[in-house]
Amino acid sequence: MASEKTVRMGYRTPYRFDKLLAFFGRRALQGVELVDGESYARTVRLALPDGDEIRGWVRVTDDPAAQALIVTMSDSLINYESQVSERIRLQFDVGTNPQAVQEVLRSLDEVVPGAAVEGTRVPGCFDAFETACRAVLGQQVTVAAAGRFAARIVETHGSLVETGIEGLTHAFPTPAEVLALDDVETAFGTLGVIRSRSRTIAELARLIEAGELSLRPEADAEYQMERLLAVRGIGPWSANYLAMRTLGHPDAFMETDVGVAQALPGLAPRERRALAERWRPWRSYANVCLWNSLDD
């Protein structure tokens, strides 16, 4: 394997790395991501200001003794370490103060005993458009079904990435590449994606390319959620989910989410939303704690 670089990314303990891996593992995109019991790896495609791009791979493991993530990247990315690290910090929620979150979420245990586990992190994302498309594809279908649709898009319309790692072969198409398709509805329709979702993906691509929508962590989350809700096919669940995962918004809540409903049985969506008011400004973490409680 070609030369590579490893950097350490410190975090505040406790840190539930295993739960992040489990989340990413269930959603690992074939050809783009690899997740095992110890690490997360993926292809990388970075756009440069001059219009060029850099491709490579990155792998993340945990070193709990050192209270740090170990981030290894291909030699092609060494000069772009800051850009890669910024994305990993968002994806693995490195900057959170778990004690501050736990102080607010303690009351969650009164509703779901044992759910408020200190050190819970919100799973972010490395590629915002990829994650947005996955969210749209996952509407009203299982996580596995959404993964199959996304894998077909990658295989048919993604870009090859030479990594030297078996299983890491492609990058998800960019917004510009989706818009360059002659007919998005037909192109995705042949892969099994229904027209309404294809149209939503195409509109997200258009808005991002036009600069009318930003799914970057420095963007104003509330404003971008309003922009998302104006897109046909994006409802409150999708807007909150994308705010949580792409914008790093700590206070999103999905009262209609199936997992949240299972963790809070017997309550109507409006009652779940009212209950969640006590967990501001960390409702995104409450979401994840509720999801994790179903596994724990």
Q: What are the extents of the domains in the chain?
A: 128-246, 258-295
Query: May I ask the CATH class of domain 128-246?
Result: mainly alpha
* Residue 11, pLDDT score: 98
Question: How far apart are the C-alpha atoms of 220 and 243, rounded to whole Å?
Answer: 10
* Residue 85, pLDDT score: 97
Residue 28: CB atoms within 10 A of its CB come to 19
Amino acid occupying residue 244: M
Q: Answer for the pair 41, 161: CB distance below 8 angstroms, yes or no.
A: no
Question: How far apart are the C-alpha atoms of 292 and 286, rounded to whole Å?
Answer: 10
Is 52 catalytic? The answer is: no
Quick one: CA dihedral 255, 88, 208, 201, positive or negative? negative
Q: Which residues of the chain have pLDDT under 70?
A: 1-2
User: Could you give the 3-state DSSP secondary structure of residue 121?
Assistant: coil
Residue 133: CB atoms within 10 A of its CB come to 27
Residue 60: CB atoms within 10 A of its CB come to 24
Of 93, 257, 295, 296, the active-site residue reads 257
* Residue 127, pLDDT score: 98
Task: Tell me the per-residue pLDDT of 36-56, one tens digit each, with 9 for 90 and over.
Answer: 999 999 999 999 888 899 999
Question: How far apart are the C-alpha atoms of 283 and 238, rounded to whole Å?
Answer: 15
* Residue 50, pLDDT score: 86
Q: How many residues in the chain?
A: 296
Question: How far apart are the C-alpha atoms of 237 and 271, rounded to whole Å?
Answer: 16
Helix (H) or strand (E) holding 49: none
* Residue 2, pLDDT score: 54
